Amino acid sequence: MNPADRSLVLPSFDRLHLPSSLVEALARQGIERPSPIQTAVIPAALDGHDVLGRARTGSGKTLAFGIPVLARLAGRPSRPKAPRALILLPTRELATQVHDALAPLAQALGLRTTTVYGGVPINRQITALKGRTDVLVATPGRLGDLLDRRCVTLDGVEITVLDEADHLCDLGFFKPIDALLSKTPAGSQRLLLSATLDGDVDRLVRRHLPDHRLFEVDEVDDQVESMEHHVLITPHESRVTTAYDLLRVNPRSIVFTRTRRGATRLARQLSQRGLTAVDLHGDLTQKHRERNLGRFSRGEASVVVATDVAARGIHVDGIGLVVHYDAPAEHKAYLHRSGRTARAGAAGSVVTLATPETLGDVIAVQRKAGVEARHHRVESAPSPLTVASLSGAGEPAPAAKAPAAGPRRGGPARRRRPARRR
């Protein structure tokens, strides 16, 4: 849905009975109308219900939970060391980004937020918790550590949010999360946001949000309009050159590799050819990761080369291209990675590099992800390799050449409604 259409069908924030200082703080950031997931989740959460929201990154899910949390806490102070809202999330990067999104809104309401995550010295976080914290944003490991040291208590928690619950579970946090939720008061409110609701996420829901309101906002229509998928078939030995040709003409791109070492190597190879490329992965210190992400966010680097885990939850707007340099083995990873582009209704493209040997696997992953991609052989692909020139060129994936349907030409590759998982 483009922003003009959105303004016709969505109510403004005024209609959601929010504190006026919060609505004004949102407006100062140019946020005037709730996205579909916000329209669905905010009223139910304001009413005190447990909420289960299926929403992907880029749909506005941070504010879908952030707005009701802040609105419900407003006007009353918390006790020292006893936050009244707890936001649990999988990575330090996501913690920082959620904090950055919520801190100005919290401030407008006179609320204080504190963020704690691992990989940095704990002492400063202990000091911060000694004062009043209304909203605690935390990764599970560091929060467990702070609880063990009795630097914080969850006795006063009124609302707990699990953000990217599927990712938390993928990283093996089911048990810690289960334990942390058990430390919050029984009967306190819980909001769970996730791109998928199966497996361990379903177990968490049954144990901790048995009586919830479920909102599944299908963003597929948005994606159909905004995201294009391409496969660029290149000989193995030309992959770096192909990546360079692609990235040279499409700045603000994120590139995914399978391994940490692969990310460092590719960033170096691209830099040697004259691009400003930075890497982002778990082998780097927290400081180094923040510095690299900062350079990319500020536009000082035009490319970030990342591994899956490091890149999940990166909220940088204006990424026009996602490149799967190493195709992911799994459709969920394909969707998560691709979700870095086409955020908040903006246009974006996704290019997967395949060699003749890996092409079959790439097609299988994309089919499972519900994606129809255009295929280009690098020898005959448009030059320069801009996303605009790829759009409409190339061939449909081999399986799409069924005689009855006929090959699709001209139109951009689209995302189909994904097959139901489970």
Which positions lie near ligand AMP, rule CB under 6 A? 31, 33-35, 38, 57-63, 315, 317, 343-344
The minimum distance between CB 101 and ligand AMP, in angstroms, equals 6
- Please identify, using beta-carbon distances, which residue of 81 and 340 lies nearer to ligand AMP: 340
The minimum distance between CB 107 and ligand AMP, in angstroms, equals 16
- Please identify, using beta-carbon distances, which residue of 31 and 231 lies nearer to ligand AMP: 31
- Please identify, using beta-carbon distances, which residue of 122 and 346 lies nearer to ligand AMP: 346
**Which one-letter DSSP state was computed for residue 358?**
T
- Please identify, using beta-carbon distances, which residue of 246 and 314 lies nearer to ligand AMP: 314
The minimum distance between CB 85 and ligand AMP, in angstroms, equals 17
- Please identify, using beta-carbon distances, which residue of 179 and 344 lies nearer to ligand AMP: 344
Contact 173, 139 (CB under 8 A): no
The minimum distance between CB 396 and ligand AMP, in angstroms, equals 30
Environment class of residue 288 by beta-carbon count within 10 Å: exposed (0-12), middle (13-18) or buried (19+)?
middle
- Please identify, using beta-carbon distances, which residue of 97 and 184 lies nearer to ligand AMP: 97
CB neighbour list of residue 269: distance below 8 Å, 6 or more residues apart: 240, 244
Give, for 384, the enclosing helix (H) or strand (E).
Answer: none
The minimum distance between CB 81 and ligand AMP, in angstroms, equals 29
Rounded Cα distance between 192 and 202, Å, is 11
- Please identify, using beta-carbon distances, which residue of 30 and 187 lies nearer to ligand AMP: 30
The minimum distance between CB 11 and ligand AMP, in angstroms, equals 11
The minimum distance between CB 343 and ligand AMP, in angstroms, equals 5
CB neighbour list of residue 276: distance below 8 Å, 6 or more residues apart: 295, 300, 301, 302, 303
Contact 283, 353 (CB under 8 A): no
The minimum distance between CB 415 and ligand AMP, in angstroms, equals 17
- Please identify, using beta-carbon distances, which residue of 23 and 231 lies nearer to ligand AMP: 23
Contacts 24+ apart (CB under 8 A), 176-182: 176/140, 176/141, 176/144, 177/88, 177/140, 177/204, 178/204, 178/207, 178/208, 179/144, 180/86, 180/88, 180/140, 180/143, 180/144, 180/147, 180/154, 181/207, 181/208
Pseudo-torsion of CA 11, 12, 18, 24, nearest 10°?
A: 170
Phi then psi for residue 284, to 5 deg, are: -85, 150
CB neighbour list of residue 307: distance below 8 Å, 6 or more residues apart: 256, 257, 258, 259, 260, 262, 263, 280, 281, 282
